[in-house]
Amino acid sequence: MKYIKVAAAAAAIALAATACGGEKKDDAADAGKDPAQLKVWMMGDGTPEQTKFLDSVETEFKQKHPSTDVQIKYVPWPQVATTFQKAAAGGEGPDVTELGNTDVQSHIEQGSLADITDEFNGWADGKTLNKTALGNDTSDGKIYAVPWYGGVRGIWYRTDWFQELGIQQPKTWAELTAAAKKVQDAKKVPGIGIPSDQTNALLSFIWGNNGAVAVEDGNGGWKGQLDQPQAIEAVKYYAGLVSTEKVAPEKYIGKNELEGPQRDFALGKLGMYIDGSWALKEMKKVSAKNADKWGVFPIPSKTGGNAPVMAGGSDLAVWKDSKAKAAAFDYITVLNNAKNAKGWADYSGFSSMRSDVKFTDPKLEIFTQIATNTKFPPIGPGWAEFEQAKKVLPNTVKAIMQGKNADEQMKKANEQANTLLNP
């Protein structure tokens, strides 16, 4: 009897092992015909509201493709890199996917995205899309993705505290430090949250001092600028808020803005912190008690005026292995039509990349102003490793916050920029 059981178990295991690879449905229908299924990957954890929104998009999409079933899969941001690796290795990729805009160039370089130049040129709405963002989706004159939404960051602050203490909106770095100090002394909470792992904020300070991470060298490569005085001064100021001015607490060293500052600000335990428009709904989830006293002002540059901010955001692309490219692009046009773009902006708090869709919430209006002055970091194929795998800037900032010599650290970071950004 035991032999039979063992044999049965062995057979079951063998079956399970082969089942993984065996099932390959043949949906190689003609590209023009409606596919039975369209796989759409959305980044982030997904919420019931988002699912509801995407359901209405599907209904609209089905008017044109009645026999196609849209399958949404949410990919949490921390798992994005590994999920796309698996998609590339196993061939089980999406048809349509959302992509973080800093990742688009890496995907293009790896040959994961379909060339959609022709489809794009045939799409009337394409002309409303932000040109800078579209440029980031282009390589050698070919278009591989479509800008969907964007987000810029500002400094969240407490309007009631600023009023009570008579603080004007800081226009320079010195005023920002002074404001943080005043809040910290009067309210007994840290003045501002400066995490070491927040490159998007750090970039605004580097750019606000006319510095740069790297500049194009003219031969298609990048030349590091982190050892230049402008960048060093900016990083010294940023890290100095923690180490020398002591208006930012040490508890955010090694963290990002979501691992402390956002929660503490929402709870009224932090004076200011840097985040985007989408933070509003997240903070309301933590505590909506002071929500009407939250305000935003642009990140100041060193000597006055708004510093340029990094244009974060997401784009939409058709996966190269997709068997239904036409339907996939159709889905993008429905998802990003004027009506749905507005619905998405209203729900998510991200601004649309369409020039004909504006923010309606007055609280978020300031972000429209901030968004007039955006910049991109050196987003080449090497940026992913520089920023995600090696986290060069966060680790440099951390070292400087903990008292290491800034000039030496920045020199090292610049050497890494020179190698990693030119893979």
Partner 1 sequence: MLDTAPAVRRAPGRRTSGRARPGRRPRFGPYLLIAPTVLVIAVLMFWPMIQIGIMSFQKVGNRQLRGEPAEQVGAENFDKILNDPFFWQTFEHTVLFAVVAVTLTLVVGTLVGLLLNKLGRKMSGFVAGGVMVAWATPPVTAAIIFSWLFGTTGGLVNWFLDLLPDALVGGGWLDYNWFATPLSTYTVLTVCVVWQACPFIAVSVLAGLKSVPGELYEAARVDGSGPWRTFWSITYPMLKPIFMVLLVMSIIWDFKVFTQLFIMSGLANRDAFNLSLYAYSEAFGSLNPKLGMGSAIALVLTFILLIVTALYVRVMVRQGETR
Give the residues lining the site for partner 1 (CB under 8 A).
6, 9-10, 13-14, 17, 80-82, 84-85, 88-89, 103, 106-107, 110-112, 190, 196-197, 249-256, 260, 263-264, 267, 269, 381-382, 384-385, 387-391, 394-395, 398-399, 402, 423
Q: Pick the closer one to partner 1 by CB: 228 or 262.
A: 262
Q: How far is the CB of 252 from partner 1 (least distance, A)?
A: 8
Q: How far is the CB of 106 from partner 1 (least distance, A)?
A: 4
Listed residue (94, 21, 43) closest to 320, CA to CA: 94
Q: Pick the closer one to partner 1 by CB: 221 or 254.
A: 254
Q: Is 418 helix (H, G, I), strand (E, B) or coil?
A: helix
Q: How far is the CB of 323 from partner 1 (least distance, A)?
A: 16
Q: Pick the closer one to partner 1 by CB: 57 or 379.
A: 379
CA 237 to chain centre: 24
Calculate the alpha carbon distances from 206 to 10, 25, 318, 393 in Å: 62, 52, 34, 12
Q: How far is the CB of 7 from partner 1 (least distance, A)?
A: 9
Q: Pick the closer one to partner 1 by CB: 342 or 404.
A: 404
CB within 8 Å of 316: residues ≥ 6 apart:
96, 97, 98, 99, 145, 146, 148, 332, 335, 336
- Where helices occur in 192-254 by DSSP H, the ranges are 199-207, 229-243
Q: Pick the closer one to partner 1 by CB: 87 or 309.
A: 87
Q: How far is the CB of 257 from partner 1 (least distance, A)?
A: 12
Q: Pick the closer one to partner 1 by CB: 166 or 285.
A: 285
Q: Pick the closer one to partner 1 by CB: 81 or 174.
A: 81
CB within 8 Å of 374: residues ≥ 6 apart:
132, 150, 152, 308, 309, 310, 311
Q: Pick the closer one to partner 1 by CB: 54 or 242.
A: 242
Q: How far is the CB of 401 from partner 1 (least distance, A)?
A: 9
Report d(CA 151, CA 157) in Å as an integer: 18
Q: Tokens standing for 376?
A: 């991109």
Report d(CA 224, CA 205) in Å as an integer: 17
Q: How far is the CB of 264 from partner 1 (least distance, A)?
A: 5
Q: List the beta bridge partners of residue 97.
A: 41, 317
Q: Pick the closer one to partner 1 by CB: 14 or 288.
A: 14
Q: How far is the CB of 377 from partner 1 (least distance, A)?
A: 14
DSSP state of 24: -
Q: How far is the CB of 110 from partner 1 (least distance, A)?
A: 4
- Where helices occur in 25-170 by DSSP H, the ranges are 48-62, 80-90, 104-109, 117-121, 131-135, 159-164
Q: Is the distance from CB of 146 to CB of 137 less than 8 angstroms? A: yes
Phi, psi of 248 (to 5 degrees): -125, 140
Q: Is the distance from CB of 164 to CB of 271 less than 8 angstroms? A: no
Q: Pick the closer one to partner 1 by CB: 269 or 342.
A: 269
Calculate the alpha carbon distances from 82 to 74, 85, 107, 325, 392 in Å: 14, 5, 13, 24, 20
Q: How far is the CB of 253 from partner 1 (least distance, A)?
A: 4
Report d(CA 413, CA 417) in Å as an integer: 6
